[in-house]
Structure 1
């Protein structure tokens, strides 16, 4: 097997890329049309690969493979981030059915209050609607015009929560979920299972299943 030193590169010496003194150049017009150039190209493809080159690429592929393996095996958590009043919250997308525009809420005589808002119809399905802001004892904020509703729960058991703003779905490695601080408000602490960072802000990661269970017991 030839080495790269044994392969002629006459095109760089006397050919189109050199001093153009090759007596075949005028006839061939360009070195690309010359059989010597074609043969050299074939020899380049068949040449012996230097051991240092093989080792370099072996190391590179191994490093990339390790990084990809780490990313693929690391457990991730997908959260929907939203705002209530002046605070940011998140719940797992596994508990999220959908995000919808504000819909009309129908109050129920002698039942509706600041926590249980009433009923709302989502594509013909009548769902219970509650105020998470009231449930978590949060101060209200001025309307931003970006209010939406979260449909949270399971197929058989859903609640609708109006929120002041939705920031979308974000993914976090489980190792980045922080423990709730001790100073967290007592009302929030029972339902906060972790803290995540978003835009240099602390976001309360809520336990949606516990929220639903508590609302069911308290209001139904």
Structure 2
């Protein structure tokens, strides 16, 4: 697009005898710099007040129309997308990935409160069962510790575990939703990971290791297939099976 040219009627003495020229202007002794001179100021006003060329608006209209068309072609509209600088970007899901026995699992990062090294579990007389293991002290507060493996009906296996790191540390995971706090131990904790909704696949009917009831779907991570757990169902099941 052609730029607006400076009017030839403007006397640009600052480029010839002024500060940007040979500095022979006699007024420089009074004004020190051209920007302090009324002639320079007058030239600036003329530039700002000059009329717009006839084709200027038309050229800008065409340019904006072409840019808008380019954005629309690149956009993929979906219910799980949002706009960033006018371009549709599919929203990412953030999850915490961990391993229980042979299974790699994930929970929404929104319910992840913290992780800690393994803690002593204090059993509850006449209350502890396969799911409720007892109480643990987390930062001076007692919380119920559960066995997520038993809740999900994970089967014990003698096969070597598919670890990600050569050094594996057991951890305890603290989750919270609507003021309800639960703690469970994991065999390995990877950390947070992001993936997009379209990467989530339906759980197959043949899913044997993890109870399909609690699985939203599966997604690929490194060489592993990860079961994305439904936190709503997890918390509801714990409240029903553990709390009085």
Task: State the TM bucket, normalised to the shorter chain.
Answer: 0.5 to 0.7
Hey, what's the Cα distance between the residues in 2 that align with 1:59 and 1:201? 46
> 1:29–1:202: structure 2 CA closer, same or farther, 3 Å change rule?
farther
Q: Secondary structure at the match of 1:20?
A: coil
Are 2:164 and 1:161 aligned?
Answer: no
Q: TM-score, normalised by structure 1?
A: 0.66
Per the TM alignment, residue 19 of structure 1 is displaced from its structure 2 partner at its CA by: 3.8
For residue 83 of structure 2, the aligned residue among 71, 76, 90 is 71
Hey, what's the Cα distance between the residues in 1 that align with 2:16 and 2:35? 14
Instruction: Pick the structure with more helix per residue.
Output: 1
Hey, what's the Cα distance between the residues in 2 that align with 1:183 and 1:31? 82
Q: 1:178 matched to which residue of 2?
A: 200
Per the TM alignment, residue 63 of structure 1 is displaced from its structure 2 partner at its CA by: 7.8
Aligned residues: 214
Hey, what's the Cα distance between the residues in 2 that align with 1:33 and 1:199? 66
User: Contact 1:74 / 1:173 at 8 angstroms: preserved in 2?
Assistant: no
Per the TM alignment, residue 13 of structure 1 is displaced from its structure 2 partner at its CA by: 3.5
Per the TM alignment, residue 206 of structure 1 is displaced from its structure 2 partner at its CA by: 0.9
Gaps of 5+ in 1: none
Hey, what's the Cα distance between the residues in 1 that align with 2:126 and 2:20? 92
User: Contact 2:115 / 2:172 at 8 angstroms: preserved in 1?
Assistant: yes
> 1:57–1:195: structure 2 CA closer, same or farther, 3 Å change rule?
farther
Q: 2:27 matched to which residue of 1?
A: 24
Matches for 1:69-108 after TM superposition, within 5 Å: 70-71=82-83, 76=91, 78-85=93-100, 88-94=104-110, 96=111, 98-102=113-117, 103-108=119-124
Are 2:50 and 1:35 aligned?
Answer: no
Q: Secondary structure at the match of 2:83?
A: helix
Per the TM alignment, residue 207 of structure 1 is displaced from its structure 2 partner at its CA by: 0.8
> 1:54–1:192: structure 2 CA closer, same or farther, 3 Å change rule?
same
Gaps of 5+ in 2: 76-80
> 1:56–1:184: structure 2 CA closer, same or farther, 3 Å change rule?
farther
Q: Secondary structure at the match of 1:4?
A: coil
Aligned residues: CA RMSD:
4.4
Are 2:234 and 1:211 aligned?
Answer: yes
Hey, what's the Cα distance between the residues in 1 that align with 2:48 and 2:120? 71
Per the TM alignment, residue 31 of structure 1 is displaced from its structure 2 partner at its CA by: 1.8
> 1:203–1:187: structure 2 CA closer, same or farther, 3 Å change rule?
closer
Q: Secondary structure at the match of 1:117?
A: strand
